[in-house]
Amino acid sequence: MCKIERLLDAETKGKDYIVATGDFNVVVGKGKEDIYVGHYGLGYRNDCGEMLVDIIATNDRQVNVTNTWFTQGRKCRISWMKPGDT
């Protein structure tokens, strides 16, 4: 069980919200995926992105990748780019 799964399995009370932030090396890709991933992703889904979407889809709570639901400039959708922009 990964850290995200343990976090989502944690007990919460009432209307508590769980916010997971960090650099997960996840690329969920372009294109909407049910209610979990919005239209405004970037690139093609990698293995970590596939794992994250699977975890979210199998969870009972409403969880989504929020930065894919809003239109943003390309610079705001990535946190680091290899020199040479490749």
Q: Which residues contact 41 (CB under 8 A, 6 or more apart)?
A: 27, 28, 29, 30, 31, 65, 68, 77
Does residue 27 lie within any of the structural domains? Answer: yes
Residue 14, pLDDT above cutoff 80 = no
- Residue 80 confidence class, pLDDT cut points 50, 70, 90: low
| Residue 15 pLDDT exceeds 80 | no
In a domain, 66, yes or no: yes
Q: How many domains does the chain have?
A: 1
Quote the tokens at residue 59.
């969870």
**How wide is the angle at C-alpha 3 spanned by C-alphas 23 and 31, nearest 5°?**
55
- 7-35 as b/e, with b when 16 or more CB fall inside 10 Å? ebeeeeeeeeeeeeeeeeebbbbeeebee
pTM of the entire structure?
0.66
Q: Is residue 83 part of a domain?
A: no
Instruction: Over range 4-26, report the average pLDDT.
Output: 75
At residue 86 the predicted structure's pLDDT band, cuts being 50, 70 and 90, is low
Q: Show the domain range for 73.
A: 1-78
